[in-house]
Amino acid sequence: MMNIHIYLMKFLILISLFFGVACSCLYAGEKPNILIVFSDQQNTLTLGCYGNEHMNTPNIDKLADEGMRFDNSISPWPMCTPYRAMLMTGKYPFKSGVATNTVAPKEGIPMMGEIFKNAGYLVGLTGKWHLWFGGHVNIPEEYRGGFVDYWNEVYPKEYQLDGKFDKKKLPKERIEEFGEHYFADVHTDNAIDFFKRAKAEDKPFLLVVAWNPPHPPYEAPKKFLEAKSTENIPVPKTVKNPSPNFPGGAKSTSVAKGLEDIFDDDKILIDKVLRPYFASCEALDFEFGRMMQSLKDLGMEENTIVIYTSDHGEQGGAHQLTQKFKPFEESIKVPFIIKYPKSIQSKSTTDRLMTPMDIIPTLLSLAGVKYDENDYDGKSMLKTLKSEDDSNAPDAVLIMSVDSCWRGVRTKQYTYAERLDKAWVLYDNLKDPLQEVNLVGNPEYAKILKDLKSQMKTLLIEAQDPYADFPANIRKLQEATVLSYKDSYLKFKKNYPKTNSPIHAIYKKFDGDNIQEN
């Protein structure tokens, strides 16, 4: 009888070991879900976890507390479409053919949706796409970057008429509460529905939620605007320190339409820009919290990689500017927070320089999907996420504005930018975090400037940027920019002749394979 009990116990132990190994193998092969949430025009100054004690952003702050916060996340070309192309292709603007707004990448470049669909993911996107030659709605499937399983555009279909956004279809109560441009609540509802679908279908998912707020016009949902006290909104200290002009005296200012008077009166700046801007960011935090709660309720939180970031920043009055497009921290420095409990230690931070081109290879590494490193200009940040020494970490990243013809570099310490081969700005961000003292003419920094210019040149060549070949020839630079997306535009024009392009004036130069003179 004793022997029978012994044999039975051994048998049960073997069975438990077998199932334990089997379960661990299944677990090891389980692909993580991926959620990328990014807003439009949100800088790091809008979040409590980046040091703004006046902001009420508990949900994004919690993400930082549970994951890793990047303190040097850079938007290389602080403009909507170029950022989106870098995120979706992992390539520099001139390699993807996207060097300005409202254009599409070159033919044949795999994009994020396609890449993860081929890896077995359910893929979806809701919100602002801005990666084709038409407008923001009625985007054909072949221009959706491979997001074939789920798609919902920045303006929800219930508010469209004949494929165009129609403000007349907005209910009066919605306009009163949310304004005419805030649909982050709808996109959040879309996201939650997508989570439920992925769970029901038992598939790993990639979902991109691309919010349009807090992009101008500066507005916010009524309840968040009313809750934002003007007494707790600090005016940027550099509002009386204007942006240096471009070399030669050309103005480098950029102010949103109708806001020219905001720098003479702090109250106007707060009321017209800062209060609605910050209130909109707090509203987005609320929506983000709804998504996180849904993942938790569905039991998907532990196996989901969550990223919160933005395409570029907002000057918000700093250096007497609104909008973006500039090399200042307010424009190029964006939040990047990532959480994945299985690989990333909570409460961790890094000063690693990163760009949106790093995101695809990093996600593929985290998901255990093999890829060719040569396919991407960005590098995997896997070792950084594991708090290990990372040989992939760059010493400098390229920054630019193709439209304004300036290029530069951002290192951990310095920001350097030039226009048409002439030095424009140089800041020591460690000694001068507000960028109040332009060091371009300081002889003590002559060698540093020379070294930064050399780093910039190397990166320009790597990026296949035409500025490297004719930095002072604006005509050739403009032609090279147009040529970079010529083939993609001609295909669009042939297949969708009745669709107007928001940048149609540029293409009036096209005549078959030639560019007409002005």
Residue 474 lies in a domain: yes
Confidence of residue 20 (pLDDT cuts 50, 70, 90): very low
What's residue 203's pLDDT? 97
Q: What is the mean pLDDT of the chain?
A: 91
Q: Is the pLDDT of residue 202 over 80?
A: yes
* Sign of the dihedral defined by the CA atoms of residues 363, 371, 122, 38, in that order: positive
What's residue 23's pLDDT? 36
Residue 253 lies in a domain: yes
Q: Is the pLDDT of residue 110 over 70?
A: yes
What's residue 362's pLDDT? 98
Rounded CA-CA distance 309/401 in Å is: 20
Say whether both 376 and 419 belong to one domain: no
Rounded CA-CA distance 373/361 in Å is: 8
Say whether both 205 and 276 belong to one domain: yes
Residue 278 or 249, more confident: 278
Domain count for the chain: 3
Asked if 254 and 151 touch (Cβ cutoff 8 Å), the reply is no
Residue 27 or 310, more confident: 310
Confidence of residue 516 (pLDDT cuts 50, 70, 90): very low
Asked if 406 and 477 touch (Cβ cutoff 8 Å), the reply is no
Residue 69 lies in a domain: yes
Say whether both 258 and 403 belong to one domain: no
Say whether both 348 and 418 belong to one domain: no
Q: Which residue has the tokens 């993942």?
A: 295
Provide mean pLDDT across the span 199-208.
Answer: 97
Provide mean pLDDT across the span 149-163.
Answer: 91
Residue 258 or 215, more confident: 215
Q: Which CATH number covers residue 407?
A: 3.30.1120.10
Residue 380, Cβ density class (10 Å: 0-12 exposed, 13-18 middle, ≥19 buried): buried
Q: Is the pLDDT of residue 4 over 60?
A: no
Residue 14 lies in a domain: no
What's residue 125's pLDDT? 98
pTM value is: 0.92
Provide mean pLDDT across the span 391-399.
Answer: 96
Residue 16 lies in a domain: no
What's residue 509's pLDDT? 65
143: its two tokens? 């221009």
Q: Is the pLDDT of residue 352 over 90?
A: yes
Q: Is the pLDDT of residue 2 over 50?
A: no
Residue 9 lies in a domain: no
Q: Is the pLDDT of residue 272 over 80?
A: yes
Provide mean pLDDT across the span 397-407.
Answer: 95
Residue 2 lies in a domain: no
Q: Is the pLDDT of residue 19 over 80?
A: no
50-64, 206-220, 476-490: least confidently modelled range: 476-490
Q: From 394, 416, 434, give the residue that closes a domain.
A: 394
Asked if 419 and 244 touch (Cβ cutoff 8 Å), the reply is no
What's residue 29's pLDDT? 56
Q: From 394, 427, 451, give the residue that closes a domain.
A: 394
Confidence of residue 104 (pLDDT cuts 50, 70, 90): very high
Angle, nearest 10°, between helix axes 275-297 and 184-201? 20
Tell me the longest C-alpha to C-alpha distance in the chain: 101
Q: Is the pLDDT of residue 504 over 90?
A: no
CA 56 distance to own-chain centroid? 22
Say whether both 64 and 135 belong to one domain: yes
Residue 368: domain span: 31-394
**450 to each of 417, 425, 454, 458, how far by Cα in Å?**
12, 13, 6, 13
3-state secondary structure of 67: coil
Count CB neighbours of 280 within 10 A: 30
What's residue 13's pLDDT? 44
Provide mean pLDDT across the span 37-62.
Answer: 97
What's residue 3's pLDDT? 52
Say whether both 183 and 197 belong to one domain: yes
Q: Is the pLDDT of residue 229 over 80?
A: yes
Say whether both 367 and 411 belong to one domain: no
Say whether both 467 and 507 belong to one domain: no
Strands 397-401 and 406-410: antiparallel
Residue 5 lies in a domain: no
Say whether both 428 and 379 belong to one domain: no
Rounded CA-CA distance 116/125 in Å is: 13
271: which DSSP letter? I
Residue 388, Cβ density class (10 Å: 0-12 exposed, 13-18 middle, ≥19 buried): exposed
6-20, 71-85, 290-304, 307-321: least confidently modelled range: 6-20
Provide mean pLDDT across the span 313-336.
Answer: 96
User: Of 373, 349, 342, 351, which Cα lies nearest the Cα of 360?
Assistant: 373
Confidence of residue 181 (pLDDT cuts 50, 70, 90): confident
Q: Is the pLDDT of residue 12 over 70?
A: no
Confidence of residue 14 (pLDDT cuts 50, 70, 90): very low
Say whether both 431 and 327 belong to one domain: no
What percent of the chain has pLDDT above 70? 92
3-state secondary structure of 365: helix
Checking 241-247 for CB contacts under 8 A at 24+ apart, the result is 241/319, 241/320, 241/436, 242/319, 242/320, 243/319, 243/320, 243/321, 243/326, 243/328, 244/424, 244/425, 244/438, 246/404, 246/406, 246/419, 246/424, 247/418, 247/419, 247/420, 247/422, 247/423, 247/424
User: Of 237, 229, 222, which Cα lies nearest the Cα of 320?
Assistant: 237
What's residue 242's pLDDT? 93
Say whether both 236 and 338 belong to one domain: yes
Rounded CA-CA distance 27/302 in Å is: 12
Confidence of residue 260 (pLDDT cuts 50, 70, 90): confident
127: which DSSP letter? E
Q: Is the pLDDT of residue 17 over 60?
A: no
6-20, 168-182, 386-400: least confidently modelled range: 6-20
The predicted-structure confidence for 411-465, as pLDDT tens digits, reads as follows 999 999 999 999 999 999 999 999 999 999 999 999 999 999 999 999 999 999 9
Rounded CA-CA distance 325/334 in Å is: 13
Angle (CA) 337-399-143 rounded to 5° is 70
Say whether both 349 and 446 belong to one domain: no
Q: Is the pLDDT of residue 402 over 80?
A: yes
User: Of 258, 263, 220, which Cα lies nearest the Cα of 241?
Assistant: 263
What sections of 382-497 are H helices per DSSP?
A: 382-385, 446-462, 474-484, 486-495
Q: Which CATH number covers residue 189?
A: 3.40.720.10
Residue 502 or 52, more confident: 52
Q: Where does 357-481 show beta strands of DSSP type E?
A: 397-401, 406-410, 414-419, 422-428
What percent of the chain has pLDDT above 90? 79
Task: Find the Cα–Cα–Cα–Cα dihedral 216, 210, 82, 146, rounded to 10°.
Answer: -150
